[in-house]
Structure 1
Amino acid sequence: MHKIHCVAALAGSLAAGLVIAESAFAEALSAEAPVCAPGDGYQPVCGIAPPEDLELSPDGRHLFMSITPGLAGQQVSRLRVMDLHRQQVSDLDVAIEPAAGWGDGQCAAPTQAPGAHGIHLSRRADGRHQLLVVNHSGREAIEFIELEAADKGWTATWRGCVEQKGVGRFNDVAATPDGGFVATVMFESPSMAPPLPLVQLLDGRDTGYLMSWAPGSPLAKVEGSEAPFPNGVQVSADGRHAWFAAWTVGEIRQFDLQDKRTLAHIPVGYMVDNLSWGRDGRLLGAGISDVAAFQRCFASHVEHCPVGFKVSALDTASGRHRVLFEAGEGVLAGASVAVEAAGQLYVGAYTGDRLLRVSEIRLED
């Protein structure tokens, strides 16, 4: 059973294959979480499992969260939901009720609760709310989950899936207008154990690519999309372009899904992880600033990694990119996503015990 994902997934899968003497570094770091105190323009929400990816609910009152085990492997990969008014987080239980027209009809219902890595919320053609979930727990698949408003929040029901039969390990996923999706593959491996030593996996070489699926068509590699550790992905409203993060080289790339070619490489100055659309149509990114710090924390399984991070916005029409917020060590370990809600940014992470609510920021140019 796999209960590992994202960069946190690498920690567990490489433990047996890497022997790195970093004990002095680990011992120098406290196992205790940093103080949960507000800072200049931000307020942490602490005591929660690390929310690697976030999606704002259609009513704007909740955040759906994918949970990572963290660098120390202390959590179970799963879905959670946060009430933004109460700042309370709870598990999102998933009922299993297959339905026609959700994913590949030959894909069987899961035999265990799905894990959660990258997630993407969209509205289907019939108006129903669909959450796509990258799942590594028990199988490699994109799970199709229906979300429905309820008196006390939201309910989740598994409706279908598309299973990965090959060796590509997914990272993130985004729905397409035709009822399908585009997913990033971070690397190829028979399991979630990466095929390369960590230093090679992070050196900027191409390790993965995009895959696409649509009703009536098989899951397939998108030719010409090879990139260094593909991470977060979003798709343009017309379905023509995929925007995705090349994590290890600090770029956001624009890929033409019709012509099968990369149109733009946009350097952002940090290891951009997941992506989300802001209300003004710009692409929001978040990620850590220092690959060396990540390597040290990863090797020693340091849950509260002392690493800085940035949040930025990209105007996909003009190519203009600017940093919206940044912080140094000790504020948020392993920043991985930024989502806009009610004029504020919620910044999640793949390790640690918190997210940040960033309020003193001007989202507009």
Structure 2
Amino acid sequence: MAALLGCDAQQDYSCQSVGERTPICGFQAPEDIEVTPAGGKLILSQFGGITGSSAGSLVLFDPEAEQVKPLYPAGEPLAVDGADRAPLWGSENCPGEPGQAFSPHGIHLSQRDDGVWQLLAVNHGGRESVEFFEWRAEQESLQWRGCVVMPEGGFINDTVATPGGGLLATQMFPKDNYWALLRTLMGSKRGHVWRWRPGEGVDIQPGSVGSFPNGIQISKDGRHLFLNLYTENTVRKMDRLSGEHLGDVSVEHPDNSSWLPDGRLVVASHPPEGLIPDLCSDVHSGACGSRFLLVTINPDTLEKKQVLDHSGAPMGGGTVAVELGDYWYIGSFAGNRLLRVPSL
């Protein structure tokens, strides 16, 4: 999201710690992160840019060994002939793999009803879609298993899986519509959440219309959604089936959310500098120094707590945080690094 807004605040920060805040360099804009089911490693979405004009990738990072393994594009293509052909999980009209054009954004790891682990990835490369991958733990690999292409004007940011093999994806505002962007920055509610269910087309999730839907999370039991409305400065709790609004939490420009092992939701937040956050527009090396916050939310009481306020070296522009062992790992939409901090 952040590449749409703000100025070019690139800084060629060295890859050196500042106190207990340690950068881990050598990545391409690790915008979203998931912890592997067995723990110990991180799946990173290496952002290629909001327009899809630059390719990205999914990689596996082992913090203990400090090793990176390509996940996609990588490996063997999906078998298309023979009795052992893997069935597609996405829509029947999926045109095939995105291949080298793949440009990921938000990702979501979940377990399907049959116990198989699935990774969803928003893709801007070549099409506006959500791609399905099977996570194969023994090989530590991803196998592409299908896609859902968004309707005309689709411009998505994040995604979550829903019970029964479906998905939700946040629609920021109509794509390639400059006036829609300007109106969205002023609070116009031009966005919503797309909903897809197997055997059905894409429609709008009830209760999801809002201003710049960004990150989204779903409760473990699938009953509740937590929708980050970026230009409404709100995290909204919703009933997934009815769309009923169950409560709002005030969070400044909320980006991505993740579940912590203790059950809290942690939200990356971009405090505004004037009308909009001071975000970097085109940072490839070094890091973006823009200020960001991390805010935790109790999903039952909606009580919030700010746990981190950071800007500058060794990395700003945080978009997501996950906990692994004794540390939190923070990703960014820009630059070449993760930020590691002691658990908060």
Paired residues of 2:91 and 2:198 also in contact (CA < 8 A): yes
1:157 matched to 2:149? no
Measured after TM superposition, the shift of residue 219 of structure 1 is: 1.3
Does residue 100 (structure 1) correspond to residue 87 (structure 2)? The answer is yes
Q: Which letter does structure 1 place at the counterpart of 2:116?
A: R
Mapping for residues 144-223 of structure 1, pairs under 5 Å? 144-150=132-138, 154-189=140-175, 193-196=176-179, 199-223=182-206
Tell me, yes or no, if the aligned pair for 1:182 and 1:213 is still in contact at 8 Å.
yes
Query: AA paired with 1:142?
Result: V
Alpha-carbon offset, residue 111 of structure 1: 4.9
Of 47, 55, 75, which aligns to 1:76?
55
Deviation at 1:281, TM superposition (A): 1.1
Could you tell me which residue of structure 2 aligns to residue 338 of structure 1? 321
State, as a whole percentage, how many aligned pairs show the same letter: 34
Deviation at 1:316, TM superposition (A): 0.8
| Alpha-carbon offset, residue 53 of structure 1 | 0.4
Q: Alpha-carbon deviations, 1:190-238, whole Å to 9, x = none?
A: xxx3433765442332231011111222211123311111011111222
The answer to which of 315-324 and 288-297 deviates more is 288-297
CA gap of 1:216–1:326, structure 2 versus 1, over 3 A, is: same
Q: By how many angstroms is 1:170 displaced?
A: 1.1
* Contact 2:174 2:180 (C-alpha < 8 Å) held by counterparts: no
**CA deviation after TM superposition for structure 1 residue 56, in Å:** 0.5
Per the alignment, residue 17 of structure 1 pairs with none
Which letter does structure 2 place at the counterpart of 1:216? G
The residue type paired with residue 64 of structure 1 is I
Measured in 1, the distance between the counterparts of 2:327 and 2:278 equals 32
Report the CA distance shift for 1:111/1:302 in structure 2 as closer, same or farther (over 3 A): closer
- The alpha-carbon distance between structure 1 residues 47 and 100, as it changes in their structure 2 partners (threshold 3 A), is closer
| Residues 85-109 of structure 1, C-alpha deviations (whole Å, 9 max, x = no match) | 1223343234431632512123221
Q: How far did residue 76 of structure 1 move?
A: 2.9
Structure 1 pair 83–102 and aligned structure 2 pair: CA distance change class (3 A): same
Answer yes or no: is the 8 Å Cα contact 2:208–2:243 preserved in 1. Answer: yes
Alignment TM-score, normalising by the size of structure 1: 0.83
2:257 equivalent in structure 1: 275
Partner residue in 1 for 2:83: none
Partner residue, 1:306: 289
Task: Name which of 36, 57, 60 aligns with 2:15.
Answer: 36
User: Which blocks of at least 5 consecutive residues in structure 1 are unaligned?
Assistant: 1-5, 12-19
**For 2:147, what is the secondary structure of its paired residue?**
strand
- Distance across 1 between alignment mates of 2:234 and 2:17: 30
Q: Tell me which residue corresponds to 1:14.
A: none
2:98 counterpart of 1:126: no
Secondary structure at 2:163's aligned position in 1?
Answer: coil
- Which of 249-258 and 155-164 deviates more? 249-258
- Alignment check: 8 A CA contact 2:168 2:193 kept: yes
Q: 1:321 aligns with which of 304, 315, 337?
A: 304
Cα distance in 2 for partners of 1:145, 1:75 equals 21
Which of the residues 351, 355, 362 maps onto 2:334?
351
What is the SS of the residue equivalent to 2:126? coil
Which residue of the other structure, out of 250, 265, 279, is the alignment partner of 2:248? 265
Instruction: Say which SS state the counterpart of residue 96 (structure 1) adopts.
Output: coil
Instruction: Indicate the residue corresponding to 2:82 in structure 1.
Output: none
SS at 1:188's partner residue? coil
Decide which of 116, 126, 132 is 1:138's aligned counterpart.
126
Report if aligned partners of 1:168, 1:188 keep a CA contact under 8 Å in 2: yes
What are the ranges of 5 or more consecutive residues in structure 2 without an aligned counterpart?
80-85
Q: CA deviation at 1:351?
A: 0.6
d(CA) in 2 for partners of 1:199 and 1:92? Answer: 37
Q: Distance in 2 between matches of 1:82 and 1:283?
A: 23
Q: Contact (CA 8 Å) 1:308, 1:330: kept in 2 or not?
A: no
What count of residue pairs does the alignment treat as equivalent? 333
Contact in 2 for aligned 1:275/1:283 (Cα 8 Å): yes
RMSD: 2.7
Q: AA paired with 1:160?
A: G
**Which moves more between the two structures, 77-86 or 127-136?**
77-86
